[in-house]
Structure formats: C-alpha cells, structure tokens
Amino acid sequence: MTDLIRLTAAEIAAKVASGELTAVEVTEAHLARIEAVDEKVHAFLHVDREGALAQARAVDEKRARGEELGPLAGVPLALKDIFTTKGIPTTVGSKILEGWIPPYDATVTQRLRDADVIVLGKTNMDEFAMGSSTENSAYGPTGNPWDLTRIPGGSGGGSSASLASFQAPLAIGTDTGGSIRQPAAVTGTVGVKPTYGGVSRYGMVAFSSSLDQGGPCARTVLDAALLHEVIAGHDPLDSTSIDAPVPAVVEAARNGSVRGMRVGVVKEFAGEGYQAGVMQRFAESVELLRELGAEIVEISCPSFDKALAAYYLIAPSECSSNLARFDAMRYGLRAGDDGTKSAEEVTALTRAEGFGAEVKRRIMLGTYALSSGYYDAYYGSAQKVRTLITQDFEKAFEQVDVLISPTTPTTAFPIGERADDPMAMYLADLCTIPSNLAGNAAMSLPCGLAPEDGLPVGLQIIAPAMADDRLYRVGAAVEAALTERWGHPLIEEAPSL
C-alpha cells in the first residue's frame, strides 16, 4: 500500500489502463491511508467510501468491456467542500450548511465523474473560503503534514494536506485571493489558479464572484496539467465561462523548457515582512531559471502595493451580496423557529448561530463599503485600483513571457499564531492577490525548504490570461531541474505520519 499511495496520478492512470492495477485496489489503498492518518491531519470533512468504491468498480468494468477510459481513469481525488456533490454533504466549512445534501453536481464534479476520476470525499476549508489558514472552518483546523502544529494554508488547506499526507494523489481547490497557491506553497505541493473563467464556477458556492476560480492541486506539475485539462473548458451554465479552447497544458508539462523565455522578477514582491529563507530559495530559483536558459528581467508593478487594500474591499463587498441568500428560509440551518418569531428574527438568529467570526467580519465590512455615501469612496475606488493592477500586468507582459515571485512571504506559521490578528493573517495574501484581481493565470510549485525551519517554500509563476500553458512549461522545467539536483521530488521529504 505504501508504494501505491506514493505513485503519481499519471502513473496510477497508466497502470489502471494497462490492467497492472485495478481502480478498486487503488481506491482501497487510499481509503486505508485516510483511515490511518486523517484523524491526525483532519484533511477530510466527509469520506464517501461506498461511493468511491462504486465509482472504482465502474471503471474496472468499463476497462473489462474494452471501452475507452479517461486520461485519469481510476485516479482518486479529494474535492474541496465548496463544490456541490449530488447525494454527498456540501458544507463549505460552515455550520449554516451542516447536513445539506445538494440535489445536483457542480460542473467540476460532473466532469470529474465523466472522466472516471474517483472522488474520495470532501476536504476541510476556511468557512466560505474566507481565510488563509483553514483555521476558520466550523469543523476545526487542518494540520500541515510537515508539522501538524502548523497551518496547511488556506482556504483550501484540506485539499493540500490530503496531497502532502498521501491520502490522495489529486485534489481540487478554489482560489479567490490565493487559496490554491498558498496551501500548495506551505505543504510542498503544486497548485494552479487557471485564468478566470477557464474552469466553470457552476455549482461552486460563491464567495466573491468576480474573483473565485476553481483549479487543480497535485504533487507534480504533470499531474496538475492532466487534472486541469479534465476540469477546464467552456460551460454554458456559467455566464463567466470563457468560450475558447483550453490551452495545451499537458503538452507544455510534458515538454517543459524555459530556453529563450523572458522571465520577470516583480520588484514589489520583496522586502520587509518576507522570511529570509523564503527569499533565499526564491533567489536560487531565479538563478536556476537563468542557468536553464531564461533571460531574467526586473519588472516594476507599482500598483501591486495597493492590491491587498483593494482586495479586502472588493471581496467582502461581493461576499456580503452572495451570502444574503443564506436566510434560513430555503436550505441549511434554521434557528429559533419556534412559531413565535417572525421570518426576519429567524433569519437573524440563524445567521448569528451559523456564520463564524471571519465570515461575519467580512459581511459587515462589505455591507459598509457598499452602503449609500461610501460606495464611491471604498468599493468604487478599489475597482479603480483593480484597473491599475490589470494595466501593470499588461505592461509587464509586453516585456516578459511570465512573472515570478515567492508564493507566500513566510513558510507555514503555527496554528493559532495569527488567529487574533486579522491584519497579520491577511498579509499572507500579499503575493497572490494581484492575479485574482486581474484574472490571469498563476501557479505555485515547491522550490526547496527554508533553512531556518525546514518547511516548504513555494515559487509563484504568473502568466497572461489564457496563457496557462506557460505556467506548465516553466513549472515543468523548474521541477525537472530541482528533481535532478536532489534525486527525488521535494514532497518525498515530507515526514511520514
């Protein structure tokens, strides 16, 4: 079992397709791993054992009949609990949806099923994806498999932790301000935020509609590309979905090279607040890219300094609008409905009981920013800054093919360290937020361990909108060079549980 759970998704798919392994064997091995370690890690909120084994049997029967299998047929996956799953609970990490069983699948869920991917269950997350540490889950925090006393990133810490603890070879996350890339960085895994609109948001519970984007999480760049190709593409059910071909991400991952590419180093992503070990590993990555044949160019994006402030007005404003639907009248929790209270009172009691502190904080902030007399001063101004950030990216991409930076300013911090300091927590988003505001594509992949604490450091690669293949081209080249240097992928250094 130990050997099987350490296979890549690409290796598992090949072995299932050839008949060397059955999908049931693979699924049972990962379910056994979940049973053995998840009590410590708490990556999953719900494990669908029966459903996963039924999917696996269907894959094996399909192969026995000689039918064509999907490129990831028989590969288990951990799904962030923000995507609706028919017949399986979807809580979004919140008490307000505890016990809710959706009547339909999200488009991402359906595409996974259609591709013969085995959905093991739903992963823990910050409530409504609001957080940078997975400490805001109503169901308790997730531990980082490198050090269970530290955070696994947020809001998709459950997905990243499931990968780093070998409970699943693939996972799905969502990225509103960095919630795929940050967890990837601090757990030594790969996470990709596709171009906004590149992956359908239908059936993905909304936090901030102009920022939210689902994407792939994996332990290797190729595995992320294979998953990206499965879930991406136009969806008529999503009005923000891009009606264009999916970039050739798998081909780019298989043929990674940076020779002749111009790689921009963002000047604004450095300085005070950055951990020394993070900057050391980033500097080494820059030199590695130079050795691999890339031209390194320093780029200034002056509006990036205002990105954090703009994001924390736009995202809460949109969240205050989206979360208005949780009114106790239609689905989920209902508190205080004893027959003596008005609908308005029941709604207030339900929201008081069902929403956590961070969600309430953002709803109040967003409602204030949208209120009469303050809209132009706050929300309107933030949208103008968003335009400036987009223009900075456009100017930068006239000079370079991709941009790079550290993914997070620090490695994983201890659970509870920033719980009472929201501003310190928000600073974790410093490097990731600009890509969400502009809607372009970005990836985080491991680039080594910080010498002072031995924890993973992430390298962020940013590409123009609909140039997602460039992420995989650069990412694969860096990954191959580092693997050759160390003799094995970084993730194998993660402590066993």
> Which residue numbers are catalytic?
80, 155, 179
**Residue from 441, 376, 496 nearest 180 by CA:** 441
CA separation for the pair 231, 87 (Å, rounded): 20
CB atoms within 10 A of CB 341: 14
User: b vs e for 253-268, b when ≥16 Cβ sit within 10 Å of the residue's Cβ?
Assistant: bbebebeebebbbbeb
Contact 408, 182 (CB under 8 A): yes
Whether the upstream peptide bond of residue 435 has omega within 30° of 0, thus cis, is no
* Number of alpha carbons in the 13 Å side-chain half-sphere of residue 32: 10
CA end-to-end span of the chain? 14
* DSSP string of 45-63, one letter each residue: EEE-HHHHHHHHHHHHHHH
CB-neighbour burial class of residue 352 (10 A; exposed 0-12, middle 13-18, buried 19+): exposed
Bridge partners, residue 446, by sequence: 458
Torsion of the alpha carbons at 203, 205, 209 and 214, rounded to the nearest 10: -70
Under 8 Å CB-to-CB from 44, ≥6 apart: which residues? Answer: 34, 38, 78, 120, 121, 122, 123, 124, 158, 162, 167
